[in-house]
Amino acid sequence: MSIKCSLCPGICQEILDLGEQNLANNLSNNQSEIYSTFKLSLVICENCGIQQLDGIVDPTIMFQNYLWVTGTSETTLSYLERLALFCNNYKGVNARVLEIASNDGSFLECMLKQGWSVKGVDPARNIADLANNKGIETIPSFFGSTYLDKYPAEIGSYDLVVARNVLPHAPNIREILTSVRKLLGADGKLLAEFHDANQLYDDGQIDYIYHEHKYYFTYNSFVNLAAEHGYRVTDYKRSPISAGSHVIVFEKADDIGELKKVGLVELARYANGGLQKVRDQFTHSVKKIIDSHEGNIIGFGASARASTLLNLLDDDSAKKIQVMLDNSTHKSGFYFSRHRILIEKPESIFSLDKDFVVLVFAWNFFNEIEKQLIESGVQPSRIINIKKFLY
């Protein structure tokens, strides 16, 4: 059966099968709860070249009660301060910014310090409440045409709309791009940040593939999609977030010109079985480490990335991981992945016998985590960066 592209009339080819998996960020405080699972398969369109998941999970299931917050990592917060300074290049007379999927308001706090008038919109009411409690106005809602219907006075009023690591999540991405354009003033800009699909492939980042990420864009494939909705690139920078992301600033434009055809080029790069090999290599290598160690094995980083990787392990290997440490207080006490591993605060490491190794699943924050563990008395030789198994 052919797989149809979600964004154009093209046909897709599968490039990675990760089996049936639970939703990565839907945690439970009940260890015996049976998780729903969904197909997790990455495909690429032969026409537009956009990588995407085969199938869609209802966004309300994934996002309306959410436990991932932006402000957990010092590395991320430092980056957001720098990004806010970059955004000052686009501060208009009103200095008005809207952030889509603004989470706990961490970025908008940085923008507020730079003199912007800020507003956020996020579908997770529990997370929106965190932002509102900090004084960052945040509407608990999905963004799209219904937002414009509810707030018509905002049409044409924004100097900047920010969409950081959200557009790849959105099945209705075309509706979002159309709605953002209506919100922008005459000289308004859209800042879009998203993970670099080329980086994903080059680094073997199969752990970045989970149900929340419907789309995986290269620079060219996203610029083409934006152009179809009347956007033209006006600025660009790289981001360290997610171990390699694009930050593209767009302006409104009526005459875009001819689009660069990228479908066959992208297909030739990705449809070679490379990511399948990474999956098999990872499963074999991590299982070997776990099965050969006689002491305690603990994980660090109860992220969606970790869930994808843990779900690839068999039950016998995964159950040897005693606990998953995480700095987010919102996750402590919950169970995650299909193996229902308990999440605890990093301080719980002191209750374990000294004969343990730490597998750092949140490898994109490895330097920060390694420093934290060493300062807690963990020997560097006992800290293993899971990334070395993703090549």
Map residue 105 onto helix, strand or coil. coil
Provide the 3-class DSSP secondary structure of residue 52: strand
Give residue 69's pLDDT band: very low, low, confident or very high (50, 70, 90): low
Pairing, β 335-336 against β 321-325: unpaired
Residue 175 has a pLDDT of 97
Q: What is the mean pLDDT of residues 306-334?
A: 90
Calpha distance 272→321 (Å, rounded): 33
- Domain architecture of the chain: domains with CATH: 3-53 (no CATH), 70-269 (3.40.50.150), 276-389 (3.40.50.720)
Q: Cα–Cα distance between 195 and 164 in angstroms, integer?
A: 10
What span, in angstroms and rounded, lies between the C-alpha atoms of 342 and 336?
A: 7
pLDDT-derived band at 251, boundaries 50, 70, 90: very high
pLDDT per position as a tens digit, 332-374? 899 988 899 999 998 877 666 667 899 999 988 899 999 999 9
The DSSP 8-state label assigned to residue 34 in this structure reads P
For residue 6, is pLDDT > 90? yes
pLDDT tens-digit readout, 171-207? 999 999 999 999 999 999 999 999 999 888 888 889 9
More confident residue, 198 or 249: 249
User: d(Cα 105, Cα 247) in Å, to the nearest integer?
Assistant: 19
**Token pair of 391 as six digits:** 């090549």
* Cβ neighbours for 333, distance < 8 A, ≥ 6 positions apart: 29, 342, 343, 344
- Percent of all residues in the chain with a pLDDT value above 70, rounded to a whole number: 93
Q: How many angstroms separate the CA atoms of 145 and 388, rounded?
A: 43
Strands (E), 70-227: 96-100, 117-122, 138-140, 158-164, 184-195, 215-216
Q: Which helix (H) or strand (E) holds 28?
A: none
**310-336 mean pLDDT:** 90
Specify the pLDDT at position 36. 86
